[in-house]
Structures are given as structure tokens and as C-alpha cells.
Structure 1
């Protein structure tokens, strides 16, 4: 089971670490888009969300308080779904469908991160192949 969880962690965080790099290296461009979606203080929000993605992604990948990392990723994903992919506000059917897909992706990944939070918190060091045990104890 240890190896399967490790492979899953590696596959999961690729998206988040890639997004973190974009948030931290193309902050101005991404802030323009975030601003167009109504995000207040878009520049600092993009930079802060990049740090959140980086910290959460590395935490899950390396197994350093992976439960906290999963929570950080969920904290990014769920508000992002609502703020950035509000498909119900779109009038163009193609844009609406695209935003709905992104909304559902973010909500689904957020749910998966919450499940990882529970898994890491409950199973703790039993999972193996982590640097630290969990920060939280739900069991």
C-alpha cells in the first residue's frame, strides 16, 4: 500500500506544483485574469495562492505533514472553484460549459484532498514512505 500511496501523491501534485510555478513566475499576467474574474487584490492573491500551492504540493509529495498539505490544497481549490469558475454567471454556452468543467474539476480535487487529509491523519505513519507523521489526529 505504501508504494500505491506514494505513486498517487506524485501523480496528484504535478498539477499543483506546475500551477504554483505559474502563479509565482507569471504573477502579473495571472493577476490580470483573476482581476477580470472579480478577485479583489488580484496580484497579492495570485502570489499568495502560488505559495499555498507550492507548500501544499511539496508537503503532500514529500510526506512532510502531508495531512496539512492536503488541507492547504483544499483551501486553495474550493474558493478558486467559486471565484474563478462561476459558470452560472456565463451566458455564452461554450464558455459556460468550459467554466463548469473547471468548477467541477476544482470541487472534485478539493474533495479528494479532504479525503487525503483524513487518510493521512487517520493512518499516519502506517502509510510509510513519508518523512513525518501527520500533524492532525482524527482517529
Structure 2
């Protein structure tokens, strides 16, 4: 701008030559087809046909989802472990039955030994015999 600001400074745009568009690639089979269209107002437009845009191909989904595969593999693993768990529970059950039979056998043997000691025939020579001869019972009391 001018320092005195009395006369405005005009700027005129300078036209430039645009870069020409690249030529369309001609396929090896020959030149692309040229189409002419007549508009309703009588104008004629001529140009190359533009092929329709092809949508991007869809990604192919696997027939089974990964989550389903993981769940199935987990089920197979669980089924494999269940056999071992079944054997473990069978072992614990058998061990419990064995210990129960040992306790019953010990009770029978020990109980039989006690029964023989209590009810068995005693040799009188080894025991103490007490003869009560002058015992007196008065009013349900024993006076010896």
C-alpha cells in the first residue's frame, strides 16, 4: 500500500497456464470407446466412457468365528480333564471305603479282645477273692 494512502493500489490477477491433465492410458486392445450424448437443449457432448467404479471386494469371513473355535477347544480340553477328574474321584471313593473297612476291622478285633478279657474264664489263683460274711444291711446302707 502507498504510504500516503491517497491513491489505492490496484492488483490485477495474472492468469497462468494450468498444467495439462495427463492423457488417459490406452489399453493394449486399442483406443477407449468415444461416446456422444445429445442434451435436451440441443448441445452435443462427446467424450470417453468412464467405467463404473468397482466396489472394493468384501473380505471373506471364515465359516466359523474364532470365538466359537475357542469355546469348542475349551470344551474338548474340559472333556479331556473330566476323565482324569472321574478317575481321581473314583480313587478317593475307593480310599475312603478302604479306610472305613480298616476302622471296622480294628473295632472288631479290639472289641473281641475286650470281650474276651471281660467275659472270658478267669483263673481264680491269679485274682483276689473277697468273702463278705458279716455284712449288715440296715435301711439300705451297707455296714461292714
Verify same fold: TM over 0.5. no
Larger fraction in helix? 1
Structure with max Cα Rg: 2
Structure with more of its chain in strand, by fraction: 2
TM-score by length of 1: 0.23
TM superposition score normalised by structure 2: 0.23
Greater RCO (CA < 8 Å, at least 6 residues apart): 1
